[in-house]
Amino acid sequence: MRARYDGLAEWYDERFVDGSETHQPGLLELLGPGSGPCLDIGCGTGRNFETIRASGRTPVGLDYSIDQLGRARSRTDGPLLHGDAGRLPFADASFGTAVTLWTSTDVDDFGAVLLEAARVLRPGGLLVAYGVHPCFNGPHVVYHEDGRRIVHPTYRLTGWHTEAPWWAEDGIRRRIGMNHVPLADYLNAVLNSGLTMERFEEPPGHDIPHAFAFRARRPTAS
């Protein structure tokens, strides 16, 4: 099946990556210092490789879009793999650290991604997830230039949305749509992963939170 982001890599980089801040707000702090390989699940064009390196780790990128991986190659000389975030091509307990960034709205089953992330982590291994805030960012939300957001009753319409009347004509959502995961479903997916939560964050940058993030670990053997 054709990846949703194929054909958009150059446009995506120009729109969201080129000229943007090196580190997304709060991400480096959630990662904390470390070492060894860090699996970037849904790495896209490699926007967050520099943050992974700044933490002391080495990025290993995985994405379903060959086009996106082509752009990511310019940002690393390390491993890049074509694969499905819901069926990771790695053995159990392969990594000490994994991240999945801005993927909850782009995959069909975010819970499956978290389960796979937990599976490939070693006992005590770290997962950082960072992405769309389920309450204030989605097909139910209208943005205004003065910072206001209007939330429509369609918040409870879960699943894949191919359009919303207020999406910008030249925006990413008009191009690929998005999977809406309400907050309760998101948190239950986190709990069902079996990971031990360490911290939840609403990263800075907007008065009304734009993003939602957490830090968790695979439990060690009792």
Q: What CATH number did the domain enclosing 104 receive?
A: 3.40.50.150
How many domains would you assign to the chain?
Answer: 1
Nearest 10 degrees: CA dihedral of 115, 180, 43, 63?
Answer: 70
Q: Decide if 81 contacts 61 (C-beta within 8 A).
A: yes
pTM: predicted TM-score of the whole model, two decimal places: 0.95
DSSP 117-175: HHHHEEEEEEEEEEEE-TTTSSTTEEE-TTS-EEE-GGGG--EEES--TTS-TTSHHHH
Residue labelled with tokens 């729109």:
15
> Is 213 a domain residue?
yes
Residue 162 — very low, low, confident or very high, per pLDDT cuts 50/70/90?
A: very high
> Is 13 a domain residue?
yes
pLDDT tens digits along 62-109: 999 999 999 999 999 999 999 999 999 999 999 999 999 999 999 999
Across 17-102, where does the E strand assignment appear?
A: 37-41, 58-63, 80-82, 95-101
> Is 45 a domain residue?
yes
> Is 124 a domain residue?
yes
Average pLDDT, the chain: 95
Q: Determine the pLDDT at residue 205.
A: 86
Contacts of 102 (CB under 8 A, 6+ apart): 42, 44, 130, 131, 132
pLDDT tens digits along 166-211: 898 888 999 999 999 999 999 999 999 999 999 999 999 888 999 9
> Is 146 a domain residue?
no
> Is 141 a domain residue?
no
> Is 173 a domain residue?
no
Please give the helix or strand (H or E) that residue 187 lies within, else none.
helix 183-192
> Is 83 a domain residue?
yes
Q: How far is CA 162 from the centre of its chain?
A: 19
Q: Token digits for 66?
A: 């060959």
Rounded CA gap, 191 and 8, in Å? Answer: 33
Domain span holding position 110 = 8-133+178-218
